[in-house]
Amino acid sequence: MEQNPVIRLIGKRPLRSEDLLQRPTTASLDRDSSRPWPWLFAGGVQLAMPHPAFIADDAEAERLAAVEGLGFGQFPGFSIAADLAAGRLQRVLTDCEPDPWPLYLYRPQRGPVPARIRALFDHLQHALTTLPTAPAT
């Protein structure tokens, strides 16, 4: 799964990740801590946006806020692929993008697998490997 800084153009385009600290941003709320999740960048750099213009505990609401131009946002590539293709969002800071996160399906049981579990795993594997991705810039 990949995660990309994505924007709806709001004023000046940021040139460095630190520039986002002075721009309106969206934030995804960590329900456990009631704090926004930090943004992730290349080299393990994390930035906590000090004053997000929009905070949500719902990824779709945050995506829509970015599409409406309320702030710069960071989203998994598959969740905004259609917005990028339609020009509703634009990628920025592509040189700062973090490496994609690996995703694993885990099955705690070894040995024979019931047909219904095998069918579920096969379906999930197909669905996850065919998710749309953000187009390269």
For residue 134, the model assigns a pLDDT of: 64
The residue with greater pLDDT, 15 or 46, is 46
* pLDDT band with cut points at 50, 70 and 90 for residue 53: very high
- Contact predicate 50/18, CB 8 Å: no
Q: How confident is the model at residue 132 (pLDDT cuts 50, 70, 90)?
A: confident
Q: What tens digit of pLDDT does each residue of 58-112 get?
A: 999 999 999 999 999 999 888 898 999 898 998 889 899 888 777 777 777 778 8
Domains (ranges, CATH) in the chain? Answer: 1-137 (3.40.190.10)
pLDDT value at residue 125: 84
Which of residues 74 and 137 earns the better pLDDT score? 74
- Sequence-ordered list of residues with C-beta below 8 angstroms from that of 6, at least 6 positions apart, any chain: 66, 72, 73, 74, 75, 80, 83, 84, 89, 90, 91, 92, 134
Q: H or E segment at 77?
A: helix 77-86
Torsion of CA 47, 48, 49, 52, to 10 degrees: 140
pLDDT band at 128 (very low <50, low <70, confident <90, very high): confident
pLDDT value of residue 108: 72
